[in-house]
Amino acid sequence: MTGVLVVDDDPYLLRALRITLRAHGYDVTVAEDGRAALAAAARTTPALVILDLGLPDMDGVEVLAQLRGWSQVPVLVLSARHGSADKVQALDAGADDYITKPFGLDELLARLRALRRRSVDDAEPPLVATDAFTVDLGKRRVTRDGEDVRLTPTEWKMLEVLVRNREKLVTQQQLLSEVWGPAYAKETNYLRVYMAQLRRKLEPDAAAPRHLLTEAGIGYRFLT
C-alpha cells in the first residue's frame, strides 16, 4: 500500500483528502503543522507527501527544506496563492509539483499518480547489508548470522534513521529529534545509552565498532 502524508491546517480539507485518498487505495497519515509533519515523515516514511504551504507553526518552504535534508520523497505542494514567485520558490526548494487551491480532486489524484509513477523507478531495495548484520527497512527486521535480532522500538528507530542516512553523518540533534522528538535535543545521554545497546547487539566487537561510528562532538554515522 502506498503511504501518503498529508500536511494541512484546514481540518475540513484534511478530512476530505483522507477520505478520498483512502478510497483510492492510499494509506493516509495526516499532520496539521510543520513540526508534526517532519516527525510523521520520519516515522512513517511515506511514498508521497502533500504539503500545504500555509502552516500555523512554520513556513511550508522551511518544512520542505528540512525534509529534503534527509529524504527524497516526492512532494506535491498545495497553495492558496497564485503568484508565480511562490511557485518558483517552492519548486526550487525541492518540491516536485505545485497545485493551487481550489483544485479538482481528480486532478490531484492524477498528479499523485504521475509523481508515483516516476518515483517507482528509483525506489531502492529497502535492504541494507553489512558483513556483520542485515537491515530490512521494509519488514522492520534485523538479521545477524541468519538469526533475527530483537530490537526495542527505540533501538529500531535510531538504527533506522542512521541506515536511511547511510554514509552520511547524522548530528545528535537530528537523531534526538527524529527518535524522541525536538524537545529532547539536549538529552545526548540517550544517544550514548542506545548506541551502546545497538553495538552490543549488532557489532562483532562492540568496543571497536566498524559500522556504527561515533563522530565525537557532532553525531554518529552508519557505514555498511
- For a copy of itself, the binding residues (CB under 8 A) are 72, 74, 84-85, 87-88, 91-92, 94-98, 104, 106-107, 109-111, 113-114, 117-119, 121-122, 138-141, 152-153, 156, 167-169, 215-218, 221
100 interacts with DNA by CB under 7 A: no
Give the span between the Cα atoms of 73 and 132, in whole angstroms.
29
Based on the shown chain and the rule CB under 7 A, indicate whether residue 189 belongs to the binding site for DNA. yes
**Contacting residue, 127, 129, 196, 223, with DNA by CB under 7 A:** 196
- Alpha carbon 218 to its chain centroid, in Å, reads 21
Min CB(95)–a copy of itself separation in Å: 6
Among 9, 180, 204, 210, binds DNA (CB under 7 A): 180
Site for DNA in 144-163 (CB under 7 A): 150, 152-155
Q: Which three cell numbers stand for residue 35?
A: 513540526
Residue 206 binds DNA, judged by CB under 7 A: yes
Our finding on whether 173 is near DNA (CB under 7 A) is no
For the record, the C-alpha cell of 102 comes out as: 481550489
DSSP 94-145: T-SEEEESS--HHHHHHHHHHHHHHHTTTPPPSEEE-SS-EEETTTTEEEET
Q: Are 202 and 132 in contact (CB under 8 A)?
A: yes
The one-letter amino acid at 108? L
Distance CA 196, CA 210 (A): 13
Site residues, DNA (CB under 7 A): 150, 152-155, 172, 180, 187-193, 195-196, 199-200, 206-207, 214, 216-218
